[in-house]
Structure 1
């Protein structure tokens, strides 16, 4: 059987030989509600021209029934991944009849049965190359074509695709839906959604353009769907892009569908965007959650231009869509919605992801060398998204905002419905800015690593900025001092161009000097000793939330790099988090503190710090404003802390049973209840009967996933053995249930119970990678990596498996590096 992998070299050769004219894809989904039906019929007709005698179509399915080429049946030559075609003419029409498989991994056509009402839901997810799991195709982004989809489905179902419905025919208890042809698009952004989805409608218009809007979710979630809020953000985004992109929204309608068991946050299928239904909040949600959802909505909308209208030729230039969308998500949030502090979350949380990724031995340039699809799958990472977006923010500061948007408008007009590379974009931006950007691109897009900026005393009242390694930066230096009210405010902000490793600057004495003030560039910042002392005592007096976010980022990076002790960092979090008004910063602090305890402290210090953190969170949840987002955030922090310390186990059970005092105003929704039950399970204070009782209260998809996680969290050797076995042998586990099982296996402070599986993990790696889909394999490889006290087993595996697939080795190397960082930090903090 041929490998399902595809290389850049062979797809480039196919692109030179083939031009696709059109697709017609017919799917028969009438049997989807039947759980015993594993497959569905798929028929693809492709028109294409060829400059070679032979080529192939990609297909990953149960089997190919027939192939008709230019009106003549031909022998089926299918190896499980490719359908070989030969005897081609200049103009060709091929029809492939095949059987495709419903997915439980979130790849291809995913099928989900809602336990709340027994209804079946379908949706597709293809990026980077899973359209071939649904229909035969030329699976590469630069072979664009119009698609006509024809779907047969149960009569009462909603059926959606990228375009509007052109015809609908009733056939007994079923329907046949024919969609209008799409504009030329890539295979990976085509979409089908089908099922009894709840449906809300609205519209947006500008000048002569009217765009129908729709928001959909499962019927059992309809009562939680705040469609009006989603429509408001959608219209705000449409307004912004209409004003700035100069190219009318090209895809007709705009559906946004929230789907179950989704592998991503969202996917930019033109006209039919899919989102994780985690964005449909079943209970109370914090402002940080609403802000994150708005950012994702605007990110995906930006893709309608960056990615869908103009698409990269190959995955090397994935950043051409993802970096731009990540940047635009924050920009539009800040300038067009109520989330005016969106850049704070970007500076503190998104960039943290980039800084982490960029310090791994597997880091790569923003413009990456992607030799095949496995490499592409793993490059949806902090470099491509957050670092790329941070560098774009620096580019805007470098060329100017007007030149940036004018360059984007020229780029859309010149390359609409085409495919591009880095050079195409730089040509337009250089023309509009009057700058030769080749040097800038080499420094920022074609190199790796993150620069670290430090302030050095140069004597005689002067300072110097030292950067390692050196890159060109346009940044600001903020001088902060106390005002009459005792607040730390910026008294002076000076913009500086850095080129060399050491750049002298004029720097007046100030209690706090903040490099990269306003977050114009991409770099780690170190606080000088005086500034560190100032923030250690007065961080809550820094008025500007972006400045606070940059300070917290500097503190966290210093802690990760073993230059600031974890105890000192934790002390600042406990001292200042309770008064932190910015929801994104609070969320980051509440995530970083327990991570520092579990990863950066030596084992002997953890127990005390766990107890101190749990008590701080417990006190904060009772002191917070009743019913506030801050109270909810602290309650979730309590539940997380209680998985490794049982000091409040009796209190949590009393809250859950209704026999003890709960924090006034705290919304005890199903998700929070499950977090508390998981904490009790992980510390040995909940039995299966308790968890079954909670499931009876919340017998939903989310409830069943949480129940599975909590059961696997119990600190018993037999439970861990059962969870381990399920991960490796139960191939019927969905993507979400697999994650829940792994999370339960790892839950709590029970390294002694899971350490016996370390050797088994390394023995299983090659088989997992070869036998499971890359999505499922990735979850297992990352989720079960042994977090012990030695690098030896990992090093031995890497030495013995130099021939392992590059993508698998990359994952193992990255996990090794995380562990090595942890071990260094434990030594530093010992």
Structure 2
């Protein structure tokens, strides 16, 4: 539908002419358990002032039954996305009665049937613009209003929204729950969840303010829900933000619900934060997983102020909430929880995401130019999150921590329940710091790209010059033989070349302490030291920066891939920080399968599998490292079948698993998928495993493993399913695509390259943007030539900008693969 997209200019005109007073949204979900029922009744009553005679409400649903304007029923003018309303007065009340559609893509009101117990669960997900899939509304962030939700649902269900329930009427079959009105919020952060959720309660108190806390998940996952740990992090975060923001938590309650088939890590709906169920660990989890979950909890909590209380006017300033939340999540983790090394994961993993995104031809400034919603959808990326957070970390050092938080507090008080732009924030941050931030904003927020820093004799050289405050760490061997910090030199650099006086040292580490945002290179002597003694670097942040420097150099073709892999093989077994270990294992696997020419790739696939297998068996029993190496073994075994018989014997119970290794369902499925991809598991094997784990996760993994089998008919069926089966859920689509690509079997899937390019436009036009994005990215041909994609781009200059962006980014990834392979060859 061409009108489903919304542009910045037309929404700005609408908000200038329309002022919303309040919404009342009534949803009838009483028939949700009937899976044959596609839709639900939705009624919106919206009161607003207008200076124009006609405007439109946004709605993506099955039908619109009636529209009433100021008490008069009018003709329905609905094109499937926009509902035009005319005859407006200065003050208006519009009532829209319509039928929404239950979602299977994670957009709008998602409906999930739990295979374990047959229970139905519902939840909403709207960002950036899917509230219109549930109720008619003015779908843009600057048209805030109070919302009153009224939900009819089966009796016995938990029904939750942004606010506590005000009235509950229950006749024994159905319940009608009316919630207290919200404070003024944007449409995209309203929320409803309904179903027989398992609920655990607690509370948080600070002074006279007491906030009820709730944690919810599906009943079939209740045995895995570590609610006490979740509440601990939640309370620590609320304490931290209450102290640093000096603005009382405004949303009345704090529910956190873990939901199935979720497209995101989490979403900051005020009073009802939604999370992926992946954070409810069905089996063993590493410290990195717990740390990552805590970071996400705190990220979403920061949004209660950054994004919910004060919201950007339009998606250009998406960074105003996401960059801050990413920064605050790491800061709160370090200062308020047990995860005091959270900056290590941030430096090595979150910034890696930003570095990758910032080197694509589609990179953009942190303050981006977002002309429409399709562009907004694709800007939830490493620039907006991790680069923005990196820059904010530098800003805090630049203006001073106390001055930064003073400005933030004034920002909240000045703009509470309103909408802002970059200028509003800079005004508040400049007031106490005494610094003019216009130049800083131009250099860091309004330009794209990054600097690469190197040591050249007595100078620091930077490409793409920017102002940096950074440190150079001089590391030397101590009496115990460890590489420890001997001296740190801090300086400001602006120009392309900056003289610096550094004493000789075995390891000279640029950006020590991770003060700035830039790629760094190790000089030749430091690289030689690292190749011999990386495991002797005692500081985990320094190790993280070294691992990051090595990976970036390998990705750029400046460090031989074999040298990187050798260091990964030699030093990863000794890595004690689980976030770093997880990243190195992932990067090494990626390097083997993307950055090596065919002959070297085959050799390294075997060598890397042998290394993973050996380290798995030598790791401390029951440790997080053992689990990480087991997962790495499963990944490596997907490409090389030399240990297939050993793995099969372990899975069938004929051979004991390594001592202490929890062979939980997720790990078992990873290993079965490896066997399937190397033709060492049959459909009967996989069906037998499903019988032991007939859960939602098990069914998804079963699809993935079935599609992984190296058989031409299997691949044909997977291809047809991914493109043509519109009943696949978002998770099931991912599983089919991942299985189709498993093992890198170009001999079986290259035949679909031409069809991929032939159907791209049709996929984009006929599928939702979330589903289309998964298909475009997931099925992109990883061939040996850029010619097919270049031809498509040349022939489709008129394709939607968001589609072209995805294709251009995939082209760039392939071009890098080919470029680095050529260097390695």
Aligned ranges 1:132-147 → 2 under 5 Å: 132-147=132-147
Residues 45 and 94 in structure 2, CA contact (< 8 A), matched pair in contact too: yes
The Cα shift of 1:660 comes to: 1.1
Matched, 1:11 2:11: yes
Matched, 1:695 2:690: yes
Counterparts of 1:424 and 1:495 in 2: how far apart (Å)? Answer: 31
The Cα shift of 1:148 comes to: 0.1
Q: When the two structures are superposed, what TM-score results if normalisation uses the length of structure 1? A: 0.99
Among 657, 666, 674, which residue is 2:652 paired with? 657
Residue in structure 2 matched with residue 640 of structure 1 by the alignment? 635
Residues 2 and 80 in structure 1, CA contact (< 8 A), matched pair in contact too: no
Residues 20 and 145 in structure 1, CA contact (< 8 A), matched pair in contact too: yes
Residue in structure 2 matched with residue 708 of structure 1 by the alignment? 703
The Cα shift of 1:2 comes to: 4.5
Question: Residues 593-641 of structure 1: CA distance to partner in whole angstroms, max 9, x if unpaired?
Answer: 0100110000111111011100100011111110111000000001100
Aligned ranges 1:500-649 → 2 under 5 Å: 500-649=495-644
Residue in structure 2 matched with residue 779 of structure 1 by the alignment? 774
Q: Extract unaligned runs of 5+ from structure 1.
A: 458-462
The Cα shift of 1:3 comes to: 2.0
Residue in structure 2 matched with residue 92 of structure 1 by the alignment? 92
Residues 266 and 300 in structure 1, CA contact (< 8 A), matched pair in contact too: yes
Residues 162 and 190 in structure 2, CA contact (< 8 A), matched pair in contact too: yes
Counterparts of 1:126 and 1:467 in 2: how far apart (Å)? Answer: 41
Among 723, 728, 751, which residue is 1:728 paired with? 723
Aligned ranges 1:23-172 → 2 under 5 Å: 23-172=23-172
Matched, 1:280 2:280: yes
Counterparts of 1:775 and 1:661 in 2: how far apart (Å)? Answer: 42
Counterparts of 1:740 and 1:662 in 2: how far apart (Å)? Answer: 26
The Cα shift of 1:350 comes to: 0.4
Aligned ranges 1:778-817 → 2 under 5 Å: 778-817=773-812
Matched, 1:393 2:393: yes
The Cα shift of 1:163 comes to: 0.2
The Cα shift of 1:495 comes to: 1.1
3-state secondary structure, aligned to 1:489: strand
The Cα shift of 1:131 comes to: 0.1
Residue in structure 2 matched with residue 341 of structure 1 by the alignment? 341
Question: Residues 232-273 of structure 1: CA distance to partner in whole angstroms, max 9, x if unpaired?
Answer: 000000010011001000000000000000000000000000
The Cα shift of 1:749 comes to: 3.2
Counterparts of 1:584 and 1:700 in 2: how far apart (Å)? Answer: 29
**Cα RMSD after superposing both structures:** 0.5
Residues 45 and 93 in structure 1, CA contact (< 8 A), matched pair in contact too: yes
3-state secondary structure, aligned to 1:520: coil
Residue in structure 1 matched with residue 350 of structure 2 by the alignment? 350
Counterparts of 1:5 and 1:427 in 2: how far apart (Å)? Answer: 33
Aligned ranges 1:233-632 → 2 under 5 Å: 233-457=233-457, 463-632=458-627
Residue in structure 1 matched with residue 821 of structure 2 by the alignment? 826
Counterparts of 2:487 and 2:409 in 1: how far apart (Å)? Answer: 35
Residues 69 and 87 in structure 2, CA contact (< 8 A), matched pair in contact too: no
Counterparts of 1:171 and 1:47 in 2: how far apart (Å)? Answer: 31
* 118-127 or 601-610: bigger deviation: 601-610
The Cα shift of 1:172 comes to: 3.8
3-state secondary structure, aligned to 1:634: helix
Counterparts of 2:171 and 2:10 in 1: how far apart (Å)? Answer: 43
3-state secondary structure, aligned to 1:660: coil
Question: Which structure 1 residue ranges, 4+ long, deviate > 6 Å from structure 2?
Answer: none
3-state secondary structure, aligned to 2:802: helix
Question: Residues 200-235 of structure 1: CA distance to partner in whole angstroms, max 9, x if unpaired?
Answer: 000101001100000000000000000000000000
Matched residue pairs, number?
825
Residues 38 and 102 in structure 1, CA contact (< 8 A), matched pair in contact too: yes
Residue in structure 2 matched with residue 460 of structure 1 by the alignment? none
Residues 617 and 634 in structure 1, CA contact (< 8 A), matched pair in contact too: yes
Counterparts of 2:335 and 2:512 in 1: how far apart (Å)? Answer: 19
Counterparts of 2:671 and 2:536 in 1: how far apart (Å)? Answer: 34
